[in-house]
Amino acid sequence: MSILTLKILSAAAIFAVGVAGGLIPIAAARFRDSGRFFSLSNSFAGGLFLGVGFIHLLPKAMEELEEVTHYPLATLLAMVGLSLLLLIDRVIFGDQPQRTAPGSTRRRVLHPYVLLVVLSIHSAIAGVSLGLEPGVAASLVILLGILCHKGSAAFTLIASAHVAGIETGSQRVMLGIFSLMTPLGVLSGSGLATGLDGSAAALLQGCFNALAAGTFIYVAIIDIIDEEFMKLEVLRAKFAVSALVGDDDVPMPEPDRDRVLKFMLVIAGLALMGVLALMH
């Protein structure tokens, strides 16, 4: 199989997984049984993302960019990628609940759109990084990390939109945009890789690998691990505040009986990336 064929199949698979993950909350909004499954799979994806960022993308970017400059450009760009998502997610927008008509509950209408922007930027950067990768084994490692998170990320995005009261038609549009971002990044990266000479392609690949490493690490720690391992006191405080402002969207928090299992899944994701790193 040629590397171009692999990239095209990867783009199609990523799109399909994204759509499937987002359609689940749309089709089964009235059911709650899927929540635990996605919480556990999200924890595994968090470990994969940490492993892809720290074990594969960042070291590879450092190796590629060391040929261009002795300045630690790779680590700088990784911090840029992380800081960019932090700026959009927690500084520019932050938590800005929007009040609806008088007498109705306060809903976080803005948050799903912020989440869409953050996840789309990350998805595009990760897709370009995959598209620029010339090796089959390394491409499969990046693809595995993307696939294991794409479905749960789409599920989280659409579930957030559903809770915020966004109409189903708008949810489908959001899902389509998010699902397309990574495949477009893959195809764009593949086109850039074929149109550039070896040194220019290596420089571009190193830069995007470093940016992708920062975004992978941000999503893993801030969006996944922090959310999945949030302390019960914090959850109770959020519930108390939501009750005081008349918001009925936050459920009564209960002790997380899966905390140890989720930690083991994070470690399993890291270990899998470590094993795959030995194979190429």
Range of the domain at 184: 3-277
Q: How many CB atoms lie within 10 A of CB 203?
A: 17
Count structural domains, the chain. Answer: 1
pLDDT digits (tens, 9 = 90+) for 167-223: 888 889 999 999 999 999 998 888 877 766 667 777 887 888 898 889 889 888 987
Neighbour-count burial for 141-157, b at 16+ CB within 10 Å, e otherwise: bbbbbbbbbbbbbbbbb
pTM score over 0.95: no
pLDDT digits (tens, 9 = 90+) for 37-95: 667 777 887 888 788 889 888 998 998 888 788 889 999 999 998 998 888 778 876 65
Half-sphere exposure of 153 (CA within 13 A, CB side): 32
The 3-state DSSP class for residue 28 equals coil
